[in-house]
Structure 1
Amino acid sequence: MSITDRREREKKQRQHDIINAAEKLFFSRGYDEVSMNDIALEVELSKATLYLYFQNKKSLFFAIVLRGTKILNSIIREAVKKEDKGIDKIAAYRNAYNEFTWNYPDHINIYNYFRSGRFNMEPDGSDERKTKSKSNDNSIPYEIACETEISKLRKERFSILCQSVQTGLDDGSIRQDVDPVEVSILLSAISKSLSNIPADHLQALEKRGINSESYFRDVSDLIHHMIMNWDYEQTE
């Protein structure tokens, strides 16, 4: 291995260590309660060294959001491709999203914060700021590169959902009178709401003996009956 290769590997490892340290702190304290100094102490680096790798706290936060988004998309891709019928692909998408919600609750929380309006971002990952950055200093700030990638992954999830609905229209497992984009927007909204149920609503469900898992199954059953082609089901 050349000296250049070794240095690059060491650089990537240190970036990985810094992101891990920041992730631990953001998960436990939240974005606003963590400073770059806290992160430097956690990873046992000087603050000056930390700034050699990440220019600010926001860039680190965006890196962690991107990490979680990549995990989510990977789970969804793998689940959906295992199914053939459109109606089953949609169920697989919902199950994958819910699996991520259960297994990665901290990533869900920071993604919700990322999308809360706290950060000054272009709608749908617009390239406007990226273009401005290129024209100003011939480089793209790290958080903008992360934001762009997160937006691409978000669009990929929506595309997977649209394609699943279209597959269902083509194979007859989904009602022919639905619009794939309209249904996908509705299903996407439902998936997001299931990952961010208000505490008082959870309490109201629990009083009726309904926990989060049974609520998810009930919602999934309602969605299935809402979009399924009953004639197709009867021929199966």
Structure 2
Amino acid sequence: MGKRQALAEYHRGSILAAAERLFSEKGTDRTTMDDIAREAEYSKATLYVYFQSKEEIVGAILLNGMAMLKKRVHQAIEGHTDWLEAYDAVCLAITGFYEENPTAYEAVMGGSLTGAEGSKSDQDIKRVAGEFCRELADFLERGMTAGTIRCAMAPMETVMLFWASVSGMIHMADRNADSLERQVGRSREEFLEDGFHMILRAIAQS
């Protein structure tokens, strides 16, 4: 990477980091390009050198988040030869990604905020999302081939149900972390671990 490209990537990263902070604090709808420029300590004119709109910034956050989550899940799958251990690692990778990158995670979950339909950014997001879902589907097929799990549903449908279940559980645990110990006698981490295993049992029996 040349110095000019490295500098451009640095500026883009600074802008995206500032935007993520504001989206987390104020929400995407209430954040303006003026807000992002002030938070990143750039002029608005400089901001527009790197991003033409707030939608493009959201799209970049989504693409980066999707690529990061895909990498973490890939590492979790490839880092364990035992399928059940890999499953636990995948769930922990998704949870860790949410804890460390809540704005990027929300962007991934709200994938409609991808910018202009048919744009290069939109195409890249769809490509990475497709690769991510395919890897999870292949992982499920591997578990079925090995006889570790049995599932009558198509792998891609199972992926969608798995993703919705895991994400919903993480959200619920995050919003009710203080009351979990009191109501069910489990910490947030213990609650999520129980939930992930419940999802696995549901998949195995479907």
| TM-score, L = length of structure 2 | 0.81
Say yes or no: does 1:80 pair with 2:56.
no
Higher relative contact order (CA 8 A, sep 6+): 1
CA distance change for structure 1 residues 71 and 64 in 2, over 3 Å: closer, same or farther? same
Q: Which position in structure 2 is the counterpart of 1:214?
A: 190
Moved more, 53-62 or 145-154: 145-154
Q: Which position in structure 1 is the counterpart of 2:167?
A: 192
Is the 8 Å Cα contact of residues 158 and 188 (structure 1) preserved in structure 2?
Answer: no
**Structure 1: segments with no counterpart, 5+ residues:** 123-128, 131-143, 230-236
Residue 196 of structure 2 aligns with an amino acid whose one-letter code is: S
Is the 8 Å Cα contact of residues 73 and 157 (structure 1) preserved in structure 2?
Answer: yes
Q: How does 1:30-49 map to 2 (within 5 A)?
A: 30-49=27-46
Say yes or no: does 1:162 pair with 2:137.
yes
Q: Which position in structure 2 is the counterpart of 1:151?
A: 126
**Structure 2: segments with no counterpart, 5+ residues:** none
SS at match of 2:105: helix
Count of equivalent residues: 204
Say yes or no: does 1:106 pair with 2:103.
yes
CA distance in 2, matches of 1:159, 1:192: 18
Is the 8 Å Cα contact of residues 18 and 43 (structure 1) preserved in structure 2?
Answer: yes
Is the 8 Å Cα contact of residues 87 and 165 (structure 1) preserved in structure 2?
Answer: no
Rg comparison, structure with higher value:
1
SS at match of 2:71: helix
CA distance change for structure 1 residues 188 and 9 in 2, over 3 Å: closer, same or farther? closer
| TM-score, L = length of structure 1 | 0.72
CA distance change for structure 1 residues 221 and 20 in 2, over 3 Å: closer, same or farther? closer
CA offsets per residue over residues 17-58 of structure 1, 9 Å max, x none? 222222222222221222111222223322122212211111
